[in-house]
Amino acid sequence: MASDAQTLIQDAFKAVDIEVGGKRPWDIQVHNPAFYGRLLSGGSLGLGESYMDGWWDSPAIDQFIYKILHNRLNDRIPINANVIWNFLLAKLINFQRLRPFNVGQQHYDIGNDLYRAMLDKRLVYSCGYWSSPQHPAQNLAEAQEAKLDLVCRKIGLQEGQRVLDIGSGWGSFLKFAAEKYGAHGVGVTVSKEQAALARELCAGLPVETRLQDYMTLEGSFDHIVSIGMFEHVGPKNYRAYFKKVHSLLKDDGFFLLHTIGNNITTQNEPWSAKYIFPDGVVPSIEQIGRANDDIFSMEDWHNFGPDYDKTLMAWHANFEASWDSLKGSYDERFHRMWRYYLLTCAASFRVRYLQLWQIVFTKIGAKERYASVR
């Protein structure tokens, strides 16, 4: 006899064209009947954890999650006590400044072997630019090179100029900027594994990689970029972040912010906050606008969010194709966790819950004029 939780969940799934035990790619197979109660009590956290534990499967998790998000089924599941508690903690405690190296240790230091297997040859861990009007990308490598070049063109990068990359990862942008544009670069990351490999990959180039908190930076730069790092800053620190960038940027320089964007002002999704990006928060337009009020002039706001769907699906394909070589270092629960991470994120961009923004800023009163680049 079906429990009340099972009946409730199955009926909710049917309403959005998902069948438990069905044969379509977005249908799910439930292996443990405790799944229904866990989903009701835990919401999105319970859904993700029960998948990691092997309680359910779906041939196409991205399509399953897309169905849920597109039909706003997630809004109908009651908010549980853990979500409320985590929201209150985030309001009370500035986790991002309390433990600035935490995300580096828990996410980016997992293992360079994983990222080498999943990413393109340049090790670019941010959204590729597939939708260039002039030369649409045909694969991940082309999309990432197009994105790096797009950033260089947006800031008007010239030979010999000094550029700062806040959250420089494995040095992909600075390596490209040095090789293709003759730039000199300084990059900062909170991941020791990223810093070590970036120094190796950028050897012989005028590029310096530092294991350093961005708030301790000093100096002056012709241009500043931050690609896929702002999601770790936290709303309490947005204004201090913009003030810090302002203090480091030359008067006529450009600052390019490349960040995932949220349609609403909220805290991080609970499962992702626990397992993937601790202390991460995706900013909204309102939060970015308020934070740089009277600090910068916004010159350009470019949204190519759908390109992140393609990027994540390419990463997923690489990850699954490389699993046999990775499974000696990572267990099956990690395998399911990472697959769930990539595919649920892809669905979130596909349904346009999440965006990808590149925003160009200048100092108020700057003489240099910005020309829109796509």
CB-CB contact of 168 with 174 (8 Å): yes
- The residues annotated as belonging to the active site are 345
Q: In Å, how far are 15, 161, 227, 259, 260 from 358, measured between CA atoms?
A: 37, 21, 9, 7, 9
Pair of tokens at residue 342: 């990539």
| Phi and psi torsions of 197, nearest 5° | -70, -35
pLDDT of amino acid 94: 55
Q: Which amino acid is at 281?
A: V
Cα-trace Rg, the chain: 21
- The pLDDT value recorded for residue 343 is 98
pLDDT of residue 335: 98
What the chain holds in terms of domains, given with CATH numbers, is 4-78 (no CATH), 102-363 (3.40.50.150)
- Tens of pLDDT, residue by residue over 216-271, are 999 999 999 999 999 999 999 999 999 999 999 999 999 999 999 999 987 778 89
d(CA 89, CA 91): 5
Chunked mean pLDDT (size 10), the chain, 374 residues:
83 95 98 94 92 98 96 67 43 50 72 96 98 95 98 98 98 98 97 96 98 96 98 94 98 97 86 89 96 96 98 98 97 98 97 97 91 91
